[in-house]
Amino acid sequence: MTTGERGSSGFVSRSVLAVSCVAIGIVLAVAGQSLFGSGRVSDDAMSSNGDANDGDKGHSSTDLVVSSADLIPMQGGGPDRLPGGCDTGELASSDDGSSSSARITCDLSHAAFGGLYRQVNATAFRGKTVRLSGELKAESLLAVGAVDGVGSVWVRVEAPSGPVVDNGRSQGVRGSTEWTRNEVRVFVPEDATLISIGYWMQGRGQLSARNLRFGAL
């Protein structure tokens, strides 16, 4: 191979890398829109809040412990299809890495949406009811104009028969709270392919999450 050929190959590689980065950016930018799009609510869907001390009740040792390091930011979208611009970050991690905390901050002059999520293969959960639970702490999570200031954990199941989603809005946290247990439950259809799990907020303020756990009931 000549020097010119090597240069051409490098140029093509860099071009492909640049295009790939742009594509990834586009996917992340619209993730909030697509994941919170229209979907049917499971008959078993249930959102609830409770004392943070109840966090481990009913959980199995096989549950997935969701680390903040595994969560991907969502920018824009949500239940009210709001613009993005919120900051996300990891707060702390336990010494053994088994648990961590993450934070979303929306401090813009307008109402905004922010979220963190990851995806799980649905095969092992087909025909079962799944639960995502965790502890949330709101700090000055307030409405902006007519837009509700609220945050919650959420689950969305993708299936050819149509998505099933519970965004937890009805039982979400608002204002300023201590660590509060928050959970949603969704039935996974037999044809389900992918499950998205995470937490979100909209309005203005800050929402932190810790001890996120996901599994079948």
Beta-bridge mates of residue 166: 155
Superfamily of domain 3-216, CATH level 4: Galactose-binding domain-like (2.60.120.260)
**Rounded-to-integer distance, Cα 186 and Cα 149, Å:** 24
Mean pLDDT for the stretch of residues 60-64: 76
Q: How far is CA 26 from CA 21, 22, 114, in A?
A: 9, 6, 16
Task: Answer yes or no: is pLDDT of 11 > 50.
Answer: no
Closest CA relative to residue 197, chosen from 146, 135, 111, 121: 121
Amino acid (1-letter code) at residue 105: T
Task: Answer yes or no: is pLDDT of 17 > 50.
Answer: no
Task: Answer yes or no: is pLDDT of 189 > 60.
Answer: yes
Dump pLDDT digits (tens) for 135-167.
999 999 999 999 999 999 999 999 999 999 999
Closest CA relative to residue 72, chosen from 96, 104, 97: 104
The whole-angstrom distance between residue 145's C-alpha and the CA centroid of its chain comes to 25
Dig out the tokens for 68 from the structure. 């903040």
**pTM for the whole structure:** 0.74
Q: Is 87 helix (H, G, I), strand (E, B) or coil?
A: strand
Closest CA relative to residue 201, chosen from 177, 167, 178: 167
Domain boundaries of the chain, sorted by first residue = 3-216
